[in-house]
Chain A
Amino acid sequence: MSNSSEIIGKSNQSKNIIIYSIIGVVFLIALWLSSQSDGPSKFPKVVTDEFTFTAWVNEGEDFLKKNYRWITKIIASYIKACYYFVEDFLLESPWLLIAAIFFLPCIIAGGLKLGLYSLFVVYFWGATGMWEPSLQTVALMGLSVLLCVFFGFILGVLCSQSDRFENFMKPVLDTMQVMPAFVYLFPALFFFGIGGAPAILATMIYAMPPIIRLTNTGIRQVPAQTIESATSFGSNKLQLLFKIKIPLSLPSIMMGINQVIMMALALVVLACFIGAEGIGGQVWQAIRRLDVGWAMEGGLCILFMAIMFDRFSSAFSKTEERLPSDAQKFYLLPQEWSKYQLARILEKPLMTAHNIIKYICVFTTNLIAYFIKLLISIFNKIFAEDISEYISKRYYIIPSFIVCLIIVAVDTYFIKIGSFPEEWRLSIRQPITNAVESLTVNPGFIAFTKSLRAFVYLNLLRPLDTFLTHIPWWYTMAVFVALGYITVGIRFAIITALLLSFIGACGIWSHSMITLSSVLVSVAICFAIGVPLGIIASYNERFRNIQNVVLDAMQTLPYFCYLIPVLMFFGGGIVSAVLATVIYSIPPIIRLTSLGLTQVSGTYSEVSRSFGGTLIQTLNKVKFPLAVPSLVIGFNQTVIMAFAMQIVTPLIGGKGLGLEVFNGLARSDTGRGLAAGIGIVLLAIIIDRITLAYTKKQRQALGL
């Protein structure tokens, strides 16, 4: 046994040497080739002239616009009507009603903690003066999530029933997730008009994949025994699906809904570019005026909203409905704190109030249930029993109704409650702005940013840019195809060749190389910062907890918010673009490094330590090799996110394909924008597949 592994070890070593030398040779040839050429490599002119993809797309778009616009207009008018209905309702209702609408479900599903949190969120919207935009964002997000869940669920069920359909949907879903939203945001404008309707439809494209995927996997993962027993009891296919499979996959579906909500929120912010109102518009205006504080307030509104919906949807999917105070004793503060007098004093009245409310709720519910029972029992006794039992078991429905009705009645007949009171305003704009401005003029900090900028530009970006753009296109292509062949297989190699020729034929080869180089540099920096942070987090739990909160915030905060500080510290240009990309795409690598390292079971590291391995040795020789699959997934996600960010970086001076998308859209040249957008997608997909295949081999080699 040990003998054979030794041989494998040896052959692996010699294999490694061969692989490294091949890589070295390939790289040296590339270096030589790129130093030989005197300008950026270009695809043969014959091909680019013949392959006028841009013009075809534009002709197609014109044709569609002329002939099918009436259909899209009808769809848009329905969606718009729904949107206006919800929006008008939210904006014209008294603010207390809105607060109640958020507060009641939250307290019912998630207990008092979530309820109080929801009150804080609603207060924050009002206090920062973003009451209306926040509600508009809620309306937009709510409608798109509703539509996403409806269509996504149907598509997911279809996927789970037919392998062929699933195989067809997989690349479509990949494309939907990676395709930069700007590419379809503007064509959506021409077909569906401005404002809510196109925003909702564009959001659907972006946010639907998770629910389709998770419905599909949820249904497919229903255990075979369950299905078998159901069939043996004589259920037919439809019964099996609706009575067994779908109910059993509900947790998975709920997780999908949760993700849909998060992604919809992310995109709704971008929709300000096509005239949709909401917080996105506020943040964008703040950025136009360089008001960092304002932008940050908008970002926090979104962040808090996202956390609220996230907690609510996960609480809703987990718990059966109950009155919050059912849960034994209530703790707002950490439980250990109850030894402090102050904490007890704070919690006592809350607890009492809680009990009183509970008592009132139960009492009214039972009372009303009794009356309903009396009323219905005139017609049907058994049904009446059922209904009354149902109602009295669920304390919250009736009181919630009553609270809302009271608010509405007071508003219409007694005092106009109106929108959020102005006097309660509280702004944190000025402190944030001041902090950023003091950093801007801080000499030490600026010296640091300047040297960082110089380092990144001179040592990483410029050499890599020239290197990649100067290598002849056929050589780069050959390397990619070879990589595809080695890691995945012949079919993928052919596909890679085709995809890369598409990029070349569209005449965006050098743009795509610039994009590739910015992505590579960003990912390298992410790696250099993220892996150490992940290692620290894997050893220190407190650090990990704090870090998780920060990472959550980084991922949910609209990336607009931190563009302005980056600009003020680093100046515009490609370095800032790279840094913004790093901020956006670093979370997965940190998370998955710490996850991978903590997951390595304790026995392994114990064994290594008992053999006298030092901390570094254990990390290096035992933990890291075992964590490689997790690391590569983190790397993979970081790459995808870095590609996605390429579409935003032109806003602060980024170059490459993202800039092409912008220039295309600025000139109403959908074809040009689409070609560049597809370019980004294709590059991302090729790299994604190659790295995933690499982990697969690694995983097999490790026997995981």
Chain B
Amino acid sequence: MKLTKTISALFLSLVLLIGSLGQANAAKRLHAAIADWTGGIITCEVAVAILEREYGYKVKQTVFPSGTGLWEAIAAGELDFACESWPSYAEADSVMLNEDLIYEGKVVGSYSGDGSVDLLGTSGIIGLSDYWIPRYAAEKFGIKTWKDLNKHKKEFATIETGNRGRLIGCPVAGWNCHDQKRLDLLGIDFQADELGTEAAAIAEAKAAYMRKEPFMLYLWSPHWFFGEFDMVGVQLPEHAVCDPDTFTEAGNWKDCGTKGWPATGWAKDYTMNYGNPAVFAKAEHADAKKFFENMSLQNIDQAKMLVEVDIKKRDVKEVVAEWLDNNPDKWKPWLK
């Protein structure tokens, strides 16, 4: 028995040795975090594909659910860069970044954290959030804006919410969406439910849509959901920046109104790419750093690819490669 085991072990290790021969090639390497939502995956895949095609990189990719762990991992040097962070959802950005966020030459956000993470530039994608209802519900009840919601709140109610309507809210508490506060401020008699994950919220919405039931959903665009289902926004008030001198979270949010607070960067969200400062300070990665500064993927392009990936169920790499082949005029300028 013992000898058998020794021999089996020897056998296995021999096989391992044979197998491990014939690897080893040196290229410039980076380690990217791939987001776990399709939009983020596409943005990252565009960046990775260009780095590999044009600069001869070999990029190792790790799927990493977004959240604080990701920022910590980049600060610790475990990962080299990540794509498309939505500033309104990340608390880490204000703690870890120490730079201005510039979009088309304009400063759209500034941070004064400890600088343990490097802001590489905007990804180009600008997020738009709203509360959405399916078109069939909007037409049936004649809902045009959020002001009409209260009249039909009973249609949107569930067992759990009783008389009030139900909003399938922003799923993760850590995202700081403050749905319930916003609803209360606007006087919408709805209850926001946090379902814990985007998947949960979308799953419920999808099922409800298939059954043609009325529902209201918090969602951001670009998102594949809009490619498959016909949704209408309730047109919440536009975002405006609050006066930082008078604004405090505790008392003044009412003065600032729904425009600046809840501070989700409500209407516009300039998303960004970020990386490890030590890695991108190296001379060998100067090209990559320059590329990230210039990169600017447009919403419409991402949305097109989203449809290909999520609705036609095609492979992300294939879709991105096709886009790169067909639209060199869009991404060649980023290489300057």
Contacts and interface: CB of A to CB of B under 8 A. Distances in A.
A57 interface: no
B194 interface: yes
Contact of A567 (B20, B91, B194, B207): B207
A193 B18 contact: no
Given A89-B16, A189-B73, A289-B38, A437 B159 contact: no
Contacts of B202: 290
B76 A281 contact: no
Interface string B187-223: 0000001111111111110111011000000000000
B145 interface: no
A272 B63 contact: yes
Nearest to B14: A401
B36 interface: yes
**How large, as a class, is the contact surface on chain B?**
35 or more
Contacts of A290: 199, 202-203, 206
A287 B18 CA distance: 38
A193 B78 contact: yes
Nearest to B208: A571
Interface string B16-58: 1011101100000000010011100000000000000000000
Interface in A213-235: none
A321 interface: yes
B172 interface: yes
A89 B22 CA distance: 10
A101 interface: yes
Contacts of A186: 69
Nearest to B17: A89
A275 B73 contact: yes
B193 A667 contact: no
A568 B196 contact: no
Contact of A288 (B36, B67, B193): B36
A622 interface: no
B207 A571 contact: yes
Contacts of B231: none
Interface string B64-75: 110111001100
B250 interface: no
A636 to B, nearest CB: 28
B40 to A, nearest CB: 10
B19 A666 contact: no
Interface residues of A, number: 69
Contacts of A662: 173, 196
B11 interface: yes
A412 B18 CA distance: 10
B241 interface: no
A194 B78 contact: yes
Contact of B4 (A277, A394, A564): A394
B62 A446 contact: no
B300 interface: no
A201 interface: no
Interface stretch (A42-50, A511-519, A597-605, A649-657): A649-657
B7 A397 contact: yes
B325 interface: no
B174 interface: yes
Nearest to B74: A194
Contacts of A613: none
Contact of A287 (B11, B15, B199, B204): B199
Of the listed residues A272, A563, A668, the one surrounded by the most CB atoms of chain B closer than 10 A to its CB is: A668
B79 A567 contact: no
Interface string B284-296: 0000000000000
Contacts of B33: 275
A371 to B, nearest CB: 17
Interface in B231-277: none
A195 B203 contact: no
B279 interface: no
A559 interface: no
Interface stretch (A358-366, A450-458, A467-475): A450-458
Given A189-B69, A194-B64, A400 B196 contact: no
A616 B37 CA distance: 55
Contacts of B195: 572-573, 652-653
B3 interface: yes
Given A404-B15, A441-B211, A194 B79 contact: yes
Given A394-B4, A663-B174, A668 B203 contact: no
Contacts of B76: 190, 193
Contacts of A668: 68-69, 72, 92
A105 B9 CA distance: 12
Nearest to B211: A441
B112 interface: no
Nearest to B315: A129
A624 interface: no
Of the listed residues B3, B78, B202, the one surrounded by the most CB atoms of chain A closer than 10 A to its CB is: B78
Nearest to B168: A572
Contacts of A574: 160
Interface string B143-162: 00000000000000011100
Given A321-B4, A572-B201, A412 B62 contact: no
A277 B62 contact: yes
A38 B178 CA distance: 26
A652 B159 contact: no
A659 interface: yes
B99 interface: no
Given A390-B3, A572-B168, A651-B200, A454 B159 contact: yes
Contacts of B36: 284-285, 288
12 contacts: A194-B79, A195-B78, A397-B8, A405-B18, A408-B18, A441-B210, A568-B204, A569-B207, A571-B158, A653-B200, A665-B68, A666-B67
Given A89-B20, A652-B197, A667-B91, 15 more contacts: A189-B69, A272-B63, A272-B65, A275-B33, A277-B63, A457-B159, A567-B204, A569-B207, A573-B195, A651-B199, A652-B195, A659-B173, A666-B172, A666-B173, A668-B68
Which 6 pairs show the lowest CB-CB distances between chains A and B? A666-B174, A572-B195, A567-B203, A568-B207, A668-B68, A89-B19
